[in-house]
Structure 1
Amino acid sequence: MSDDKKPSRPAGKPGFRGNKKFGGKPAPRRPGLPPEGPVLLYGLHTVEAAFANKDRKRLKLFATDNAVRRLEERGVKIDVPVESMMPRALDRMVTKDAVHQGMILEADPLPAYGAEHLKGARLVLALDQVTDPHNVGAILRSAVALDADAVVTTERHAPEEGSVLAKSASGALDMIKHVRVKNMARFIAEMKDEGFSCIALDSDGPASLEETPFSDRTVLVLGSEGKGVRQGVREACGLTARLDMPGEIRSLNVSNAAVLSLYVARMKMGL
């Protein structure tokens, strides 16, 4: 959104883009797609990562004096205007119980990354209609920790790039390519044409993930809890595998399954 089209801010609430129809809260946006206007990123790790990301256009920092000093002590170059605010004023800019740690960064959404940004990738994690922003945020964080090249979600039935996703990712949203695709099955077919092995995780898979053959370029596909990977996406992958659990509980939360899957993949691929 260009500067001359940005909505005016209510007096006394810097950075808060209210909407009377929704009781003063920002209007909901279509899930899965980048927001149309600025987003508010909060928390130390999230804000620090946003300042380190060359692809993130930063607009303004709202922060306490202590928070500014803390960022500077960590080597963050603050390259936007800073508005000094008290903690209670910051509280009013975010949702209840949001842990902003004295800093809120107003920034534009990240660019809309697509499959064309995966050239040179070796390990990609795709999420088929995983909708919970806390789960997707945790998965982004794990993907960075295990050095995956990208996380792919669908445009619909996936969380938008907003404050909750960014905070749950604890900085990872600005540290890994988050690719959005219109059609997951078509994306899988395109990746196979590029030489990737595509493996869908399924509790009824014919072999464990450890027993499944990997190539040196792999896409792992996880589905939503309950429904799992959709049939059309499984068929596009061609390969399905299961995660065998030795204990009495046989299934994992999708974010935990992502960690284990990425770890096994790295071992199998020699990364």
Structure 2
Amino acid sequence: MPDLAKRTGPPVLRVDGLRKTYGDAVVLDDLHLSAAEHSCTALIGASGSGKSTLLRCIDLLEVVDDGVVELDGEDITDPRVDANAVRSRIGIVFQSYNLFPHLRVLDNITLALRKVHGVGADEAEQRGLEMLERVGLRDRYRARPDELSGGQQQRVAIARALVNRPRLMLFDEVTSALDPELVGEVLSLVRELREDGMTMLLATHEMGFARDVADTVCYLDGGRVLESGPPEQVLADPVEARTRQFLRRIIDAGRL
């Protein structure tokens, strides 16, 4: 695991005053957050607290109403920015796998490389196979998604996000659609990425996992980061009453 003492210098990601609305509904409200290089930040909070919307705004899948998102010091929310170029530096994995059912696993992984980022077919295939090796599915490169288990499909989705060698990885509740017996294999892969030093933000309901892998836990409530700090502080001795209330519900449900 990377040395925490080496996490100095400007953050890889900085979110400053982010605001996002849908009609009259305010989903993100003056949200502030930063992520140092090689760090893992876990986003926790109830459904509707803004976790998924935050990740989608960072990946420029949503247009922000106000505020700034910086990646390595560059304002990527500037409307003049090339969104595809930004997304080539950010990988995102959703709850659903979003694999094309008619394409082989390898083609799913390399499609964006070839069609969006202009990587040649041979190089794209080589990189795709390397990523499949990385996620333990090299032997399934010719399979169709419906020939794979849910955990395998999610690992393919992670490989697809990694194949462009992103600067930042975003995970949006990547285990929520999985059967309980498949959750472990996906979390093990995310843990390996963490140990390799990948800078990550992950929205999760897996509190034990957040406690084990995160450097920082951010509790979102009402579209804001209400409390943030080391896992042992936020999850074991939170300052805010709303954080304590949320964690009490999690404990009562047997998820912490």
TM-score with structure 1 setting the length: 0.23
Q: RCO higher in 1 or 2 (8 Å CA, sep ≥ 6)?
A: 2
Give 1 or 2 for the bigger CA radius of gyration: 1
TM-score with structure 2 setting the length: 0.24
Hey, which of these two has a bigger chunk of helix by percent?
A: 2
